[in-house]
Amino acid sequence: MTEYLVRKALKSDAAVLEALEHDAFGDRSWGAAGVAGSFGAPGVEILFCSRSGAQPVGFAIWRALPGEAELLSIGVAPDRRRGGAGAALLDAVIDAAGRVGARAIHLEVDPGNRAAMALYIRAGFAETGRRKAYYRSGADATLMSKRV
């Protein structure tokens, strides 16, 4: 499996993040304004994942809250999936959350998103509840958490 480097994204990376997020999410994208708004939002950190010296292939956006953390978004370019980038990003978020004192990390996921569900379960997340009609599609969200 490819070794990935994970680094913090900077405001100067905004265009790269927007393109990557759109590539990963397609019509479920937050849009350029939504993505750009993540930079500088309170407690929010954006991580990029790449091979040494190469363009990022994936990103994660998470937020530190008092005593806990929330994964806001994670995505990998479609042609780079199943290579370990998503797992590397998720591990980095879990580590970073632990370093700032989070005791748990929470997320929402569409239960029909098999890849994401498998990624989270593999990393030790467990279902804690449901949120009705959470997505634009009208689908419910599954709430998941992991103790850090």
Ligand X SMILES: CC(C)(COP(=O)(O)OP(=O)(O)OC[C@H]1O[C@@H](n2cnc3c(N)ncnc32)[C@H](O)[C@@H]1OP(=O)(O)O)[C@@H](O)C(=O)NCCC(=O)NCCS
Which spans of this chain sit near ligand X (rule: CB under 6 A)? Answer: 24-25, 74-76, 81-87, 109, 113-116, 118-119, 122
Q: Which two tokens stand for residue 105?
A: 């990390």
- For ligand X, the closer CB: 101 or 131: 131
Half-sphere exposure of 76 (CA within 13 A, CB side): 20
- For ligand X, the closer CB: 56 or 75: 75
CB of 16 to ligand X, least distance (A): 16
CB of 143 to ligand X, least distance (A): 11
- For ligand X, the closer CB: 56 or 86: 86
Smallest CA-to-CA distance from 123 within 102, 105, 142, 136 is with 105
Where is 34: in which H helix or E strand? Answer: helix 31-36
